Amino acid sequence: MKRIVIIAILMMPLLVAFGQQQGTIEIVLSNPEITSLIDAYKAEGEKDQTIKGYRVQILSADNRNDINRVKSQFYTLFPDVKSFVIYQQPNFKLRVGNFRTRLEAHKVWQEVVKSFPGAFITPDELKLSEF
């Protein structure tokens, strides 16, 4: 036991000497490669921010002109509700609204179905930036 204590006491100055090495630290803030990586990471993160929600689908057609005509009719009747044209091969779909719950979508659907009888509620991915 005495030997361990004596060895520990003799080793202390060596441990302190090796632990106090001096050096310099360089922080690079304006490296263009790092900046471009950070920007790409931010852009990717913003792009993927979606939640599950609901929209009201008004029309599905293979002709974009039909979709645009109905979209303008919808806009004149409901100027406060956002509309979205989605292409899912081979059809274009006109969907309206950004609703987090089916109940919110149902309230708007009740008004929309009066002017567009084929309208129905459908689940969709909603971008957080649109809220």
**Sole residue written with tokens 């274009």:** 92
Q: Which domain holds residue 82?
A: 47-130
Residue 53 located in a structural domain: yes
According to the model, what pLDDT value does residue 34 have?
80
Tokens encoding 68: 């645009």
pLDDT tens track for 10-48: 666 666 656 566 777 776 667 788 888 888 887 776 666
Residue 85 located in a structural domain: yes
| The model's pTM | 0.63
Other C-beta atoms within 10 Å of 22: how many? 4
Residue 92 located in a structural domain: yes
User: Do you find a cis peptide bond into 123, omega within 30 degrees of 0?
Assistant: no
Report how many domains make up the chain: 1
CATH number, residue 67: 3.30.70.1070
Tokens encoding 26: 């360089």
According to the model, what pLDDT value does residue 35 have?
81
Intervals of the chain under pLDDT 50 = none
According to the model, what pLDDT value does residue 24 have?
77
C-alpha–C-alpha distance, residues 126 and 86, integer Å? 13
According to the model, what pLDDT value does residue 129 have?
74
Residue 108 located in a structural domain: yes
According to the model, what pLDDT value does residue 5 have?
65
Closest C-alpha among 127, 113, 130 to residue 58: 113
